Amino acid sequence: MTDYGLADGFVAACHGAIARLAPAARVLDVTHLIPPADVRRGAAVLAQTVPHLPVGVHVAVVDPGVGTTRRGVALATPGGLLVGPDNGLLPDAAAALGGITAAVELTNPEWLGPAVSRTFHGRDVFAPVAARLALGAPLDGAGPAVEPGSLVRLPEPVVRSTADGFDAEVLTVDHFGNVQLAAPGALLASLPSRVRVAGRPAAHGRTFGDAPVGDLVVYVDSAGLVAVAVNTGRAADLLGVRPGVVVAVTGS
């Protein structure tokens, strides 16, 4: 999973770096269309996807700090390994896979590409390390141990109860314009069948079809979080919100 897009050869180069070392490895692409440098979006997509993938080595690169002092790391969990930058991208996915049991910094030059570019660690650091791990190499061969508590973590998103509902930060906006909030689905349980989202009327439903075409519906999404959609429309556009904005959901 990366923010590399599909217009250049970056993804193919990463695939190639893996194939050179582990030609039999099966590679599944999650997405390469994370908005550029949007670590929060990448972390959310990764965490919500890895529990449904085969046990393996998960490589994630949304890395605006590439070439700086930020570390490259590999994390072990009960549900698989994670490889990527130490910038907050990986810990939520590690939690979704059962928690971090070990972590290392990627410093062993023998595990890296023949020449490490300062701006393309996906190809020269993360892909080669992932390939070696997929072949069964031990995690500690990649470099020295890292204390899991020292890993960079993203700030906790805003979620707070109010007298008539809750406020929650927009966590992500998906391809359909559905707005995923950071609030757990249980916060919807006590609200009536009609609510207001950012002051706009909305149905409290279970499916998109629980609101008339063009109307808002608030529901619990496939990740167990509160989300807002428009039946055959784009909630993000109707509400005028983006990730990081705090939205109020209240009983109408």
- Decide: 241 and 247 in contact? Cβ < 8 Å: yes
In a domain, 171, yes or no: yes
Q: Which of 29, 50, 149 is nearest to 98 (CA)?
A: 50
Same domain, 111 and 185: no
- Decide: 42 and 89 in contact? Cβ < 8 Å: yes
Same domain, 116 and 170: no
pTM (two decimals): 0.94
In a domain, 18, yes or no: yes
Same domain, 108 and 54: yes
Strand partners, 82: 58, 75
- Tell me the three state secondary structure of residue 59: strand
The total domain count for the chain is: 2
Query: What is the reported pLDDT for 23?
Result: 97
In a domain, 1, yes or no: no
pLDDT higher than threshold 80 for residue 4 = yes
What CATH number has the domain bearing residue 63? 3.40.50.10790
Q: In what order do the strands lie in the sheet with 72-77?
A: 57-59, 80-85, 72-77, 102-105
In a domain, 201, yes or no: yes
What token pair was written down for 155? 């700030």
In a domain, 144, yes or no: yes
Residue 1's pLDDT band (cuts 50, 70, 90): very high
Tokens 């204390």 correspond to 147
Last residue of a domain, one of 150, 173, 202: 150
Same domain, 135 and 175: no
Exposure string of 5-43, with b = 16+ CB inside 10 Å and e = fewer, is eeeeebbebbbebbeebbeeeebeebebebeeebbbbbb
Question: What are 29-61's pLDDT values in tens digits?
Answer: 999 999 999 999 999 999 999 999 999 999 999
Residue 18's pLDDT band (cuts 50, 70, 90): very high
Question: What are 121-176's pLDDT values in tens digits?
Answer: 999 999 999 999 999 999 999 999 999 999 999 999 999 999 999 999 999 999 99
Phi, psi angles (nearest 5°) of residue 63:
-140, 65
Same domain, 116 and 20: yes
Query: What is the reported pLDDT for 73?
Result: 98
Same domain, 242 and 182: yes
Same domain, 16 and 117: yes
Q: In whole angstroms, give the CA distance from residue 215 to residue 235.
A: 9
In a domain, 68, yes or no: yes
Query: What is the reported pLDDT for 251?
Result: 92
Question: What are 174-225's pLDDT values in tens digits?
Answer: 999 999 999 999 999 989 999 999 999 999 999 999 999 999 999 999 999 9
Same domain, 138 and 199: no
Q: What is the DSSP string of 63-123?
A: -TTTTSSPPEEEEEETTEEEEEESSSSSHHHHHHTT--SEEEE---GGGS-SS--SS-HII
Question: What are 221-241's pLDDT values in tens digits?
Answer: 999 999 999 999 999 999 999
Residue 99's pLDDT band (cuts 50, 70, 90): very high
Last residue of a domain, one of 100, 119, 150: 150
pLDDT higher than threshold 90 for residue 252 = no
Last residue of a domain, one of 120, 150, 180: 150
Same domain, 104 and 204: no
Q: Which of 139, 125, 11, 163 is nearest to 74 (CA)?
A: 139
In a domain, 4, yes or no: no
Q: In whole angstroms, give the CA distance from residue 249 to residue 241.
A: 14
What token pair was written down for 215? 């109307």
Same domain, 128 and 197: no
Question: What are 53-84's pLDDT values in tens digits?
Answer: 999 999 999 999 999 999 999 999 999 999 99
Q: Which domain holds residue 40?
A: 10-150
